[in-house]
Amino acid sequence: MKNCNLKAQFGSGLQTHIEGILFSTDTESEAPADDTESDGVALVSFRELVPEINDTGYLTHAIFAYPAKFIPQVVRYAINTYTKEGDWIIDPFAGSGTVGVEAYLCKRNAVLLDLNLLLNHIMPLKIYNGKDRLDEADLCKLLDDMRESRHPFIPAWSNVAYWYAPEILEVLSRYWGFINNMDGGVYPTIIKSALLKVNRRFSYTEDRTPKLARSKRKLEAIAELLKENWREQLDEMVYSLSLKTLKNLNDFVMHTQHQCEHLGTVEFHGGVDSSYHSVPRACDALITSPPYLQAQEYIRSTKMDLFWLGHTEEEIRELSRLEIPYRKADRLIQTETLDKIRKMLTRDDLQKRLDSYFCHTVNALENSMNQLGPGATACIFVGNPRIDGITVELWRILVEYFTERGFVFEKVYEDRIKTRKLFGARKNKNPDGMKSEFLLILKKSTTYQTSSRQYESVLQDKEHPVRVPRKSPDSDAS
């Protein structure tokens, strides 16, 4: 079967059938309507303010799956309102690279930092700078050759067999072996992006949770799938996802072709600790969305991808240790609101997590904001999560901290969440989801004082010192 049109061979309902077995649809819940405003917060809808973006996954934004993506409408609003063409934007929590894509499209430049190495693999495809349309026939030829490959690649992952049925692992390893033996180029990268999604769908991991979690439901689903034409279904998914990505890239080429000779420059550095990594240049604005309290384990969520992309257990383990739940605070962040919350917590583990979260989140923000010039704007998009039933107003705490250090509070926008996909298969600390997200606007004054916190360690345990990387891991694709 060497044919790119697998839907014609296997039936148009095949993709729907496999998704029904492996990736059941979660329900969405609507936030209750409430038009009130309080405390100087301006109620807005960024989707209405940025009508030119009518799809959060437009162009290349949806090529890669990633937890808690930054929606492009918010980024576009911040770029249009607080920057001008040619400005440099810093994002210390780059995640899936939304700020980089939007900066590129808007003729701004960006520096992206993130602890997750996945950033280095995401960005070359999401900001594809080819000038010519890609050929579907060339992609199909490569896919057909891949199906005949007999050169396996096994990830450097001691538990890989725990996550896959043996016959599925054998096929995936041959496909990855073929792609990893290529000399690079956009077509192999397109296929890799498809294989990453297929890896998860055909594994034992529970798709309804953001982290790796083998479940009875998924074990049973794979067992049923193996009784059917699973190989054809797997191939159909690889082909259809690859062709969809090729279309996204061709749309990206067409969208940017009519632009002037220069769009934007995007520098990206995955695998670095934004709390201490040196920002390589002065910047004109910060636009970022920090991870939410109690939802920071992105390395664990994406480690299956990282292993298949060739990273080792040692690399991933070292980065995982730097995620907020697993590292200590090296200083105590104190503001009026945060101190009140800290006093309300009765559990030591939650107090430590709160201290760790604000220590390393503020460190990363401050590290980047040190590189902003006078009058530059910091746009920080956050929610108000709950810890032990207590609402944590992140934007208010950040206002209290940074206004004491030379930033001026401009405004905060509240964007009510109309729909949110909830993960019903886990014990959710906030089962109703967050009702709103907030865009905080701070402006740097001429009285800003660069922090010396890198040299302070008020909470450091002398027997178990906090690990501060002297040099961040090198980017493997930048």
Cα angle at 341 between 340 and 345, to 5 degrees? 120
Let me know: does 476 contact 312? Beta carbons within 8 Å. Answer: no
pLDDT reported for residue 451: 59
Over pLDDT 70: what percentage of the chain? 80
Distance CA 378, CA 288 (A): 8
pLDDT at res. 243: 98
What's the CA gap between 173 and 160, in Å, rounded? 11
Q: Where are the beta strands (DSSP E) in 326-371?
A: none
| Residue-wise pLDDT tens digits, 169-195 | 999 999 999 999 998 899 999 999 999
What's the number of CA atoms in the CB half-sphere (13 Å) around residue 392? 28
Taking CA atoms, 398 is separated from 220, 336, 381, 441, in Å, by 46, 11, 11, 10
Residue 143, H or E segment: helix 136-147
CB 112 within 8 A of CB 123: yes
Backbone angles phi, psi at 267, to 5 degrees: -100, 135
Q: What is the pTM of this model?
A: 0.85
Give per-residue pLDDT as tens, 270-317. 999 999 888 989 999 999 999 888 666 788 889 999 999 999 999 999
- Write out the residue limits of the CATH 3.40.50.150 domain(s) in the chain: 30-121+265-455
Tokens read off for 6: 């697998």
pLDDT at site 49 = 95
Kindly report the number of other CB atoms within 10 A of residue 166's CB atom: 7
What local confidence, expressed as pLDDT, does residue 260 receive? Answer: 57
Q: Measure Cα distances from 394 to 35, 205, 357, 437 in Å.
A: 21, 32, 11, 10
For the chain, give the number of residues. Answer: 478
Hey, what CATH topology would domain 30-121+265-455 get?
Rossmann fold (3.40.50)
Q: What is the pLDDT of residue 259?
A: 67
Could you tell me where the beta strands, DSSP code E, fall in 7-62?
A: 28-30, 42-44
Render the burial of 78-95: b for 16+ CB within 10 Å, e for the rest.
bbeebbeeebbbbbbbbb
Residues of the chain under the 70 pLDDT cut: 1-39, 259-261, 294-296, 325, 418-434, 448-478
Q: What is the pLDDT of residue 428?
A: 44
What does the pLDDT look like over 388-442, one tens digit per residue? 999 999 999 999 999 999 999 999 999 987 654 433 444 444 445 568 899 999 9
Using an 8 Å Cβ cutoff, are 217 and 230 in contact? no
How much is the pLDDT for 184? 82
Which pLDDT score, from 0 to 100, does residue 211 have? Answer: 80
Phi then psi dihedrals of residue 344, to 5 deg: -80, -20
